Structure 1
Amino acid sequence: MEIITAISDFLWGYPIILMLFFTSLYLTFKLKFFQFRYPLYIFKQTLGKVGKKSKGEGTITPFQSLTTALSSTIGAANIVGVPVAIMMGGPGAVFWMWVIAVVGMSLKFGETVLGMHYREKNEIGEYVGGPTYYMRKGIKWPLLGKILATWYAVFLMIELIPSIMVQSNSVASTIEESFSLSPWVTGTAIALVVAIVVFGGVKRVARVTSALVPFMALLYILAGLLLIIMNAPQIPDAIALIFTEAFNPSAALGGGAGAVLAETIRWGFARGIYSNEAGIGTSSIAHAAAKTDHPVRQAFWTVIEIIIDTLVICTVTGMVVIISGVWQHDDAANDSVREALTARAFGETFGTFGSSLISISLIFFVFSTITVVVFYGARQAEYLFGLWAGQVMKAIYVISIVIGAVGGATILWAFLDLTLFFVILPNVIAVILMSPKIAELKDEFFKSGKYYKKDVKEEN
């Protein structure tokens, strides 16, 4: 087990982070910096169209696909992970979190473009897509495509079991600490609700997330902004600290100047990657079900996804931790304490209500994450073996919620990061191999008179 942990720590130290960063950077150049060139147009075509009838075919609305994908990315990492990055890499880690978020938009955009382009209908008429479909159908070498698709599906299906257990344990521990409720009760209750949602199919998942995600995100963002406004005099210093520490981190972190800067960048990148999931490919599974007239139009929603998840929610958490000063407390470096710094910041400002608010937010975040990753895992089983296997996997995942809540099968948790590496690797290989197709579809959208030019003409 120590060997597994050592390998995981090594892979998630720099290899995976550098691989995803340079892949994102490559696609940013390949797609001609689209996220910087068309921000206003992207907002108009996404949030500006909410509530309006969608063009094209699909199973769920574009907004529902956004909330489904956000349910997976908005989780414990937004509340618990950001303070860890600040404690391990200093306040400058927040800046590098922004950097990986902005360049990561290209990678996530590319995944969704491919997922939409190569999607198909399953036996019950639902649109399905994602990495397994674009690997099998889009890679020029059929054998390689089938190998990568099977590889991705198997490891994602497996990886989600310990992932669900860890998430379930996190929320069960929070509820036990805050409300003295037994983990058995919590685990069983969450499992039942998740089962009701996921066994209802993609449309029920979409309906639940479209109601839950806006509520939980706005609740947390507004509470964080209130805390920040209450400490308004500290805002300029906090922002200045983020930028100065990004390039000249404090020697208090330990090590030489170069080593300290490398750690700051590493933790910022790692937190951004964990939060927005660019490179994992799972969001394209949700977006593939959306109604749209072109893959690129739907892929614009992934830009909004990263803005909400990383540039807004993670930034709010970072500012709350820095402005409140909790990261400078004597015991803040302790493992158990640094993961609870956000709750401490809210508790010191709003009292018991603040701590309870974070507990409730964490419950909502984790519940929505579990619901959607169960859906993702079932899609992999369906791809490999058919619809019946998807239903079986849903049952296995629901059972793992209860097992994880009570701290069972902890031996599996050590494999979480390692199996995630084997999910990311085939996806990155596939996206790089198919980057010409991504660029082709992007150019088709912006240069054809049917889409971008027509939209601009209608607006004017």
Structure 2
Amino acid sequence: MELIESVVGAVNTVLWDYALLFLLVATGIYFTVRLGFIQIRKFGEGMRRLFGNFSLSGKKAGKDGMSSFQALTTAIAAQVGTGNITGCATALYSGGPGAIFWMWLSAFFGMATIYSEAVLAQKFRTTDADGHVTGGPLYYIRAAFRGKFGKFLSGFFAIAIILALGFMGNMVQSNSISDAFYTAFGVPHLAVGIVVAVIAAFIFLGGVRRIASFTEKIVPVMALFYIVGSLIILCINRANLLPALQSIFVCAFDPQAMLGGALGLTMREAMRYGVARGLFSNEAGMGSTPHAHAMAQVKRPQDQGIIAMMGVFIDTFIVLTLTALVILSSGLLEPVTGALKGTPLAQAAFNTAFGPFGNAFVAICMFFFAFSTIIGWYFFGEVNVKALFGKGAVKVYALLVVVFIVIGSMQKVDLVWNLSDMFNGLMVLPNLIGLLALSGLVARITRGKEETHKLS
């Protein structure tokens, strides 16, 4: 077991501390330049599409897919998760306030990457044996590379995402929920796990129609709840707000100028933790959200690409930034209280303004964030299970996910968390290879020089 843990740890160090850090950012920069800074040019249109399509009860999803807004909320359900609370707090503890600046920068370039993912998911979406619309990286990777290499690369991606998100990732999310509820209310971990599993199973069994209906209702409500709560705290801590913002920019380039000096932080650590946690949170380039965007009912692939960028913006520039400002304005990120990290640091920050209700607030938000991620990640895994093993394997997959949710809630197993990180990283590699191979096609579609997608 120790050997496995050491191997997984070594692979994660190479992937997340070096390879993916540079590959994901470089890919984002490449698409940003090649597409003419599309995240700036089309930002206004993206916001108009977001609020123009806003609905808590849209048309029911079915064989023909789902609405553009439902696809976005399904994607955001996966993006806005524990990384927005725990991941942000961890980045601040390990990389200092400057980590947030590098989160913003990676998210800015990531908007161009996720645009490209959504465009290709739309371009190469298809119909399965039952006539249901489906799509995702597996399909555009196959299109990019014909023959055995394409089959191997797409199959590798599909297996990695099933393991990373469907199984181990959902164990991590379930554990985050049970931990938060145990801390806030003293509810036994197993009891929380069973409740989460039962609710999840009910949604899983309803298929894409129930998943889309759930996400379009819960995502806007949970985001609004968290935003309002965070803004209330920032109003209470308003005297510390400007110093908090200042620390983000100063510590991004000179971590030792403020508390980083006492903690021994460097600019490299601020970049490393900021970029890594930011990319893990918004999932740009990871190949997860294209499964939702492929099912959107839009006239042109670039239409969904534009609205897909809004998912990264909401995840990083709004939700994650609010968490960072709440923690920084609380004054708890100090060497004397530096033992606090992760979820306890976030809960302590909310407690400074809300009192004992802070724990409950974070627990409730953690439930909605993590549970919505469970639904989104299950769906992404299901698409790949169906593509690899056929429709008959979906029920077995759903049952296994429910079991993993219960097991994950009972105890935090470091190996499971590390395996989740590893397979998350491994699934990025074939996705980026496919994206870069088809970058010319993305550019032609963006310029309107490629015919509209056709289902096959």
Question: How far apart, in 2, do the equivalents of 1:327 and 1:443 lie?
Answer: 47
1:80 aligned to 2:92?
no
2:292 corresponds in structure 1 to 286
1:34 aligned to 2:38?
yes
Q: Which amino acid letter does the alignment assign opposite residue 161 of structure 2?
A: L
Deviation at 1:159, TM superposition (A): 1.7
Deviation at 1:255, TM superposition (A): 11
1:249 aligned to 2:255?
yes
Distance 1:264 1:412, change over 3 A: closer
Q: Decide whether the 8 Å contact of 2:89 with 2:341 is kept in 1.
A: no
Distance 1:408 1:263, change over 3 A: closer
1:312 corresponds in structure 2 to 318
Distance 1:13 1:124, change over 3 A: same
2:119 corresponds in structure 1 to 113
1:169 aligned to 2:175?
yes
Distance 1:256 1:242, change over 3 A: closer
Aligned with 1:233 (options 235, 239, 242): 239
Q: Decide whether the 8 Å contact of 2:53 with 2:68 is kept in 1.
A: no
Q: Which amino acid letter does the alignment assign opposite residue 10 of structure 2?
A: A
Aligned with 1:180 (options 174, 178, 186): 186
Deviations 1:4-35 (A, max 9, x none): 21221232112211110001111111111111
Distance 1:419 1:254, change over 3 A: farther
Tell me, which stretches of 5 or more residues in structure 1 are unaligned?
451-460
Q: Decide whether the 8 Å contact of 1:77 with 1:271 is kept in 2.
A: yes
Q: How does 1:62-77 map to 2 (within 5 A)?
A: 62-77=68-83
Q: Which amino acid letter does the alignment assign opposite residue 436 of structure 2?
A: I
Number of corresponding residues = 442
Question: How far apart, in 1, do the equivalents of 2:200 and 2:348 lie?
Answer: 29
1:397 aligned to 2:408?
no
Question: How far apart, in 2, do the equivalents of 1:437 and 1:299 lie?
Answer: 13
Q: TM (normalized to structure 2)?
A: 0.92
Q: Which amino acid letter does the alignment assign opposite residue 157 of structure 2?
A: Y
Q: How does 1:19-418 map to 2 (within 5 A)?
A: 19-51=23-55, 58-136=64-142, 138-160=143-165, 161-250=167-256, 253=260, 260-328=266-334, 330-332=336-338, 334=339, 337-407=341-411, 411-418=415-422
Q: Which amino acid letter does the alignment assign opposite residue 404 of structure 2?
A: S
1:5 aligned to 2:9?
yes
Distance 1:295 1:347, change over 3 A: same
Q: Which amino acid letter does the alignment assign opposite residue 413 of structure 1?
A: W
Question: How far apart, in 1, do the equivalents of 2:336 and 2:263 lie?
Answer: 23
Q: Which amino acid letter does the alignment assign opposite residue 141 of structure 1?
A: R
Aligned with 2:425 (options 418, 421, 430): 421
Q: Decide whether the 8 Å contact of 2:27 with 2:113 is kept in 1.
A: yes
Tell me, which stretches of 5 or more residues in structure 2 are unaligned?
none
Distance 1:338 1:380, change over 3 A: closer
Deviation at 1:76, TM superposition (A): 0.7
Q: Decide whether the 8 Å contact of 1:157 with 1:381 is kept in 2.
A: yes
Question: How far apart, in 1, do the equivalents of 2:365 and 2:315 lie?
Answer: 14
Q: Which amino acid letter does the alignment assign opposite residue 70 of structure 1?
A: I
Deviation at 1:285, TM superposition (A): 0.1
Question: How far apart, in 2, do the equivalents of 1:317 and 1:408 lie?
Answer: 23
Q: Decide whether the 8 Å contact of 2:144 with 2:437 is kept in 1.
A: yes
Q: Decide whether the 8 Å contact of 1:331 with 1:337 is kept in 2.
A: no
Question: How far apart, in 2, do the equivalents of 1:73 and 1:225 lie?
Answer: 21
Question: How far apart, in 2, do the equivalents of 1:339 and 1:200 lie?
Answer: 32
Question: How far apart, in 2, do the equivalents of 1:38 and 1:276 lie?
Answer: 19
Question: How far apart, in 1, do the equivalents of 2:342 and 2:151 lie?
Answer: 43
Distance 1:188 1:324, change over 3 A: same
Aligned with 2:438 (options 417, 431, 434): 434
Question: How far apart, in 2, do the equivalents of 1:327 and 1:176 lie?
Answer: 24
Q: Decide whether the 8 Å contact of 2:163 with 2:420 is kept in 1.
A: no
Q: Which amino acid letter does the alignment assign opposite residue 111 of structure 1?
A: E
Question: How far apart, in 1, do the equivalents of 2:131 and 2:177 lie?
Answer: 35
Question: How far apart, in 2, do the equivalents of 1:389 and 1:255 lie?
Answer: 54
Distance 1:338 1:151, change over 3 A: closer
Helix, strand or coil at the partner of 1:326:
coil
Helix, strand or coil at the partner of 2:10:
helix
Distance 1:263 1:320, change over 3 A: same
Q: Decide whether the 8 Å contact of 1:108 with 1:302 is kept in 2.
A: yes
Question: How far apart, in 2, do the equivalents of 1:45 and 1:203 lie?
Answer: 22
Question: How far apart, in 1, do the equivalents of 2:352 and 2:54 lie?
Answer: 38
Q: Decide whether the 8 Å contact of 1:126 with 1:289 is kept in 2.
A: no
Deviation at 1:50, TM superposition (A): 2.9
Q: Decide whether the 8 Å contact of 1:343 with 1:358 is kept in 2.
A: yes
Q: Decide whether the 8 Å contact of 1:378 with 1:391 is kept in 2.
A: no
Once structures 1 and 2 are overlaid, which stretch shifts more, 241-250 or 139-148? 139-148
